[in-house]
Amino acid sequence: MDHDHHAAAWQRLSAATTTASPTLATVCQVCADDLHADFAGATLVTAGELRLLGAATSEQARAAEDAQLVTGEGPCTDAFTHRETVEAADLRLASDRWPIYAPIVAEQGARSVLALPLIIADLAIGAMDLYRCEPVPFTTMQRERAGAYAGILALLALQEHPHLPTAPSRPAARGPQGYPPTVHMAAGVLAAKYGLTPDNALARLRAHSFRHSQPLLHTAEHVLDTHQLD
Mean pLDDT of the 44-50 span = 68
| Nearest one of 212, 206, 210 to 220, comparing CA atoms | 206
Least confident of 32-46, 90-104, 160-174, 195-209: 160-174
Q: Are 125 and 46 in contact (CB under 8 A)?
A: yes
Asked if residue 218 has pLDDT above 90, the reply is no
Find the mean pLDDT for residues 3-26. Answer: 89
Q: Helices in the chain by DSSP H: which ranges?
A: 2-16, 24-34, 59-71, 75-82, 101-107, 140-160, 181-194, 198-211, 216-226
Which of the 8 DSSP states describes residue 165? Answer: T
Helix (H) / strand (E) element for 94: namely none
Residue 50 has pLDDT above 70, yes or no: no
Question: What domains are defined for the chain?
Answer: 2-160 (3.30.450.40), 181-226 (1.10.10)
Mean pLDDT of 158-171: 66
Stretch 172-200: mean pLDDT, rounded? Answer: 72
